[in-house]
Every structure is written in structure tokens, then in C-alpha cells.
Amino acid sequence: MHMGMLDIVDERGKVTGQDTRGNIHAKGLLHREIRVWFYTPNRKIIFSIAQKIKTPFPAYSTLLLADM
């Protein structure tokens, strides 16, 4: 898969195409993503900060892992 491209899937998970994350989110298409929550021993959630050039929420806290 090309870096920055995600698989578009149908309701059964079958890949039907590829597009950029931004286009997929803008069109509301189904795609594969995973969210992972990391906790410290004190039960605090560890966040990362999105790069200022990322979409759709630049410089916001994020838990998204993509481009896997």
C-alpha cells in the first residue's frame, strides 16, 4: 500500500479500493483503522500530538495510529 493511502472496504471487510485518509473521511467511506489506548501505571492515558500539517485536526491530541 502506498504511504498515505488507506484501503476502502465494504460492510464485509472486502477491499473495494484505495484513497487518501482525508478523502475517505470527507466522503464517509468505510476503511480500516485501529485505536489503541496506552495507560501509565497511574492510570493516565498517554496521548500524542498530531503534526500541524495533519488532517482533519492538526496539532490536536490524538490516539490514532495509521499507515500500518
pLDDT by residue for the chain (68 residues), tens digit each? 445 789 999 999 999 999 998 899 899 999 987 767 777 888 887 766 555 665 555 555 555 544 43
Asked whether the whole model's pTM tops 0.85, one would answer: no
What's the rounded Cα separation, in Å, for the pair 60 and 33? 18
Asked whether the beta carbons of 30 and 19 are under 8 A apart, the reply is no
Reported as half-sphere exposure (CB side, CA atoms, 13 A), residue 65 has a value of: 7
How many Å apart are CA 55 and CA 46, to the nearest integer? Answer: 20
Q: Would you call 25 helix, strand, or coil by DSSP?
A: helix
Bridge partner list, 18 = 7
